[in-house]
Structure 1
Amino acid sequence: MGNPDRWSVTADVGLGLGCVVAIAVQAAALAASWGGRYWVFDCAVGVVVTLLALVRRRHRGWTAVAGLVVAVVAVLVADLAGLPHEPGPATALPLAVLVASAAGALPVRPAAAIAAGGLAVVVAAAIAAGVTAVTYWSALGWLAAVAVGAALRVTDARRRAAAEQVRRDERLELARELHDVVAHHITGIVVQAQAAQLVSDRRPDRARQSLAGIESAGSDALAAMRRLVGLLRDDADGPPASAGPEELAELVARFERHGVAVELTVPDHAPSWPPEVSATVYRVVREALTNVTRHAPGARTVRVAVTEAAGTVTVEVVDDGPAAAGGQLRRGGYGLVGMRERVRALGGALSAGPRPGGGWSVAAALPVPTRERR
C-alpha cells in the first residue's frame, strides 16, 4: 500500500536536480574548451529532453519517441553547424530515463522499438563525430537504460505472478467454501421437507410453514451461490466458512498472545449476515492482525471495530506501530491482494495505508444484501 505519488514526486525532483547539475557542468566545460556561446545549443537540447523526462508518466511511449527525435535532430544540427557533438551528458541522462521508463512499462514490441531507437541515436552520434567521449556517454546511457528497463519488466512480472498465485490459491479455498455454504442451506431444505412430509396430513398449517421455510432457504442458497460463483469468475479469493463475533473474539485472543493488546468492538446482537459477508469480515481482520505481527513489531495496541449501519458492515483495524524509518513502506505484501478483490466483488471497498504520525489502518465496507421475501 502506501503513497506512490510521493515517491514519484521525489524521484522526479531528484531527476530534475541531477539534470540541472549535468547541464551546468557541461555548460562550464564547453565554455572553457570551445569558448563563446557554443554551450547554448547543447544545454538547450538538454533542457528540452529533461522536460520530456519529467512528464514521461503522462505517456511513456510518446515522450520517449519525442526525446529520441530531439536527440537525432541535435546530432544532425551539431554536425552540420560545427557545434559540440551531440548528445552530450546533459542530454544522455534524461534520454536514458525516457528509454528505461518506456522499456520497462510498455508492451514488448513498442518497448523493443524504443530501445532500438536509443541504439540508433548512439550509432548516429558515432557516424557524425566518430568514436569520441560523446559516443561513450551515449552508449553508456543506452546500456544503462536497457538494463534498468529489463529489470523493471522482470520485477513487474514477478509481482504480477505472485499476485496471481495468491488469487489462484484463494480461489481453491473459495471452491471449498462454495460447497460448505450451499450445503448448509441444502441441509435446511432437506430438514424442512422431511418435516413437511410428517405433518402434511395431520397439521396442514405446519406443512405450509415448512414449505415457506424451504422457499426461503432455497432463495438464500441461490443468492449465496450466485455471489460465490461471481467471485470465482472475477478471480477473487475465498475465506473459510462463516465466522461471527465469537470467532473474532477467539482470533483476537490468539493474537494477544504475541503481547499486543486488542480493543475489539462488535455488534451486541448476533448479526444475520450472509455467510460470505461474515467470512470476509473474519478474513479481513485476520489478515490485518497478521500484518501487524509481521510488519509492526513496535505496535502495542490494536483497535478492531466491526459495525453495521444502513445496510453496510464496516471493518476497521488500526494499530499504533511506529512510522517506518526513512518513509519506507512496511505493508507491501500480497496478503491483502485477495481481500481487496473479494471485497470489491461483494460490492464493497477496502483501503489500507499509513496513518499520520505512525501506525497503519485497514478499513473495509461491505454491503449486506437484502433478503428477498415472497
Structure 2
Amino acid sequence: MSHPFPRPARETVAAACACVLAFVLDAGVVSRSGVGAAVLAGGVLALGAVAVALSAYRSGRTWQVCALCVAVAVLSSLTTALVGHTVSQRTPGWTELLGLLGLLCVVCRYGQRWPLVLSVVPLFVAVTRLEDRAPGLTELPLIGSVHRLFTLPAVGCILLGGYLRTEDGRRRAAAERVRQSERLDLARDLHDHVSHHVTAVVVLAQAGEQIAGRSPETVREVFTDIERSGQEGLVAMGRMVRLLRDAGGGGAPAPATPVMTTVEELVRRFPGPGQHAWLDVADGTDGAAWSPQVARSVERVVQEGLTNIRKHARTATTVHVALGTEEDRLVVRVRNDAAGQQRGRARFRHSGFGLLGLSERVAELGGELTSGPMPEGGWELAASLPLR
C-alpha cells in the first residue's frame, strides 16, 4: 500500500513561491555575462544556506552554521565588489537578498551567544551592501528618498528572529512546567499505588514470620493475602506503565470506580491480625457529587493514611476512617489508637515523599492537610477540601 506524501505547510509553500519569483526576476534582468551568472549563483547559494543552517541547528552544530554564514556573507560582498568594478546590474539580487535575510532571521532565532554575534555582523554588512549593485534603485519613487534602503529589512529580520527566539523560550518553559507537573503526578501515583501494595506484602510477610511456628493455618491465609497484594501491585504497576507508554492518550480510558466503593474496599482489606478498621460516612456526604480531583484526593488521603499505619503504627488495634462535611468543606480523617512503638527492628524508614506529595495534591485544590498525635492518644491524618 503506497503512502501519500505529506502536504507541506502553507508557510513553506509561500516561501518557496517567493524564492522562485525572486529568481525569475533576477534571471530576467541580469546581464548575460559571468557577472550576471555570479549574481544568480549567489542567490541560489544564499537560499541553500538557509536550509543547511536549519538542518545544522537541529543537530546542534552551531559553529558550523557560523562558519557557513561568514562564508556566504564574504562571497556576497565579493560579488558586490565584482559588480561595482565591472558593470552595474538592474537588480541587487533579490534571491540573494531573501537568502541573506532568511539567514539573519534563523541565526537570531536559534544561534548561541558568540556564534550569533559572529554570524550577524557579516550578514548585516552583506545585506546593506546589496544596494550598491543596482544604482538605478535610487531613481524609483519613494524608494529613492530612503538612505541605505536595505538596512531596514535587515533590522526587521533581526528583530523578527529575536521575537521568535523569545516565543520559543516561552513555549519551552510552558512545556517544562507541564512535564514537571506530569512527573509530580506520576511520582505521587507511584507512591500511592505501588507503595500501598508493597507495604501490604512486607507487613504480611513479617506477620507470617512471627506466627509460622504457632498457627500453620493462619500462615496459609497470610500467604494467600501476600499473593493477592502482589497481584494487585502488578496491576497498579501495569496501569502506570500504560500511562507512560500511551503519551498521546489515544487509548480508551479505564472505567472509573466510584470513590466510595474504592474507599470501602481499602478499609475492608486493611485489617491485619489483631486489628479492626471501620468507615464512617456522615449523612449528606455524596461521593457522586464530588469533582474528579476531589474524589481522587479523598482516595489518596485514605490510602496514604492506611499505608502509614501499616508502616509505622505497629501497636494500632483500631483504625477509624471518617468522611464528613463542615460548612462548604469536605473533611477526611484517618485515625488509629497506636500508643507507641513496640520494641524490635524497624519495619520501614520514613521517606517523607508520601505526605509531601499528598500535601501538594491537597494544596492544589485549596485544601489543608494535617498530621499529628491526638490528645486522647493515637495518631490522626486529616484533610480539609473545598467542595466548590
The TM-score with structure 2 as length reference comes to 0.46
Q: Report which structure shows greater RCO (CA 8 Å, sep ≥6).
A: 1
